[in-house]
Chain A
């Protein structure tokens, strides 16, 4: 199958590959999988107090389209507020990367990874808030 030039660009020169420390409270980690093909994707977002995404890292082991989708998403979400990031639809990724119909699930995976990472961050923050409340109550 022929990949679009944008997919090839992201695949051969992926942006923001890597990891943040998982236990950093400002980091949300989303791990999602595509059971149709067995690809697994990890997206991590570093989010400031105000809910703005400062930085992003990904690790994807899968086909070119899955890697390109996650690479593109890390660029797309940087600087966005989480509410904007949550509104990102996979169709944006499909359009940008020119994904063929059989690879649309890769873009859905990237969309789901954003949602999973943000919900993980919210969970962290919820725990942290509770913790500080508890500490305040104990003091």
Chain B
């Protein structure tokens, strides 16, 4: 509970004073800034409308004639709101932020790559190296075609991993398996997405380079 610097009322824990409607400008975590309970599963549309609603209430234009402290608080609150919305809007960055809030690091106790995924990464990376080294001609065209086919496969795995993450959010919020299981599961899911994302990026680069030559 903080005291509102404008009207001195004990004014709750959000971005705005409940009594005088002025911004508080306090540092809050991203969930609190948006007035939300910390939950992994968030409704994107509701999040967006809450962001706009709060944005209207604390916007610096509304306090242009207030004294300097209020104007500064409004700027701070607006920056915090925008940062919070951007962090929570994307499920991956929300998951990473969730770990950060709990003092967890994604890479801690989490260096093992699922063998089947590692195998795929190495296999495809070999193909990409081969593509980069091969001279123009039929062999290269065939290889390019093969890689394009695999790209579609990796893309659909990436999309699936993404959907699984959001599906798991609901389950993890219920926290059936306890905090440790949640953290481990969240780390694994986010790591899998990171490996697939890097692989996709490398495939796109290699294919773009091959198309240029």
Residue in chain B with minimal CB distance to A31 = B118
Residue in chain A with minimal CB distance to B199 = A38
Residues on B with C-beta less than 8 A from A61 are 121-122, 125, 202
Contact B198 A36 (CB under 8 A): no
Q: In the complex, what's the smallest C-beta–C-beta distance from A107 to chain B, in angstroms?
A: 12
Given contacts A33-B195, A35-B191, contact A109 B121 (CB under 8 A): no
Residue in chain B with minimal CB distance to A111 = B111
Q: In the complex, what's the smallest C-beta–C-beta distance from B77 to chain A, in angstroms?
A: 30
Contact A35 B122 (CB under 8 A): no
Contact B106 A35 (CB under 8 A): yes
Q: In the complex, what's the smallest C-beta–C-beta distance from B201 to chain A, in angstroms?
A: 8
Chain B count of residues within 8 A CB distance of the other chain: 22
Residue in chain B with minimal CB distance to A34 = B107
The answer, yes or no, to whether A103 is at the interface (CB within 8 Å) is: no
Question: In the bound complex, what is the Cα–Cα distance between A116 and B121 (angstroms)?
Answer: 18
Residues on B with C-beta less than 8 A from A33 are 111-113, 118, 191, 195
Please tell me the size bucket of the interface on A: 10 to 19
Q: In the complex, what's the smallest C-beta–C-beta distance from B107 to chain A, in angstroms?
A: 6
- B-side interface residues toward A, CB under 8 Å? 106-107, 110-113, 115, 118, 121-122, 125, 187, 190-191, 194-199, 201-202
Q: Can you identify 21 A-B contacts, CB atoms within 8 angstroms? A: A31-B113, A31-B115, A32-B112, A33-B118, A35-B110, A35-B187, A35-B190, A35-B191, A35-B194, A35-B195, A36-B106, A36-B107, A38-B194, A38-B195, A38-B196, A59-B122, A59-B125, A61-B121, A61-B125, A108-B107, A109-B111
- A-side interface residues toward B, CB under 8 Å? 31-40, 42, 59, 61-62, 105, 108-109, 112, 116
Q: Give me the 10 closest cross-chain CB pairs, A-B, nearest first.
A: A38-B198, A35-B191, A33-B113, A38-B194, A61-B125, A32-B111, A31-B118, A112-B111, A35-B194, A40-B121
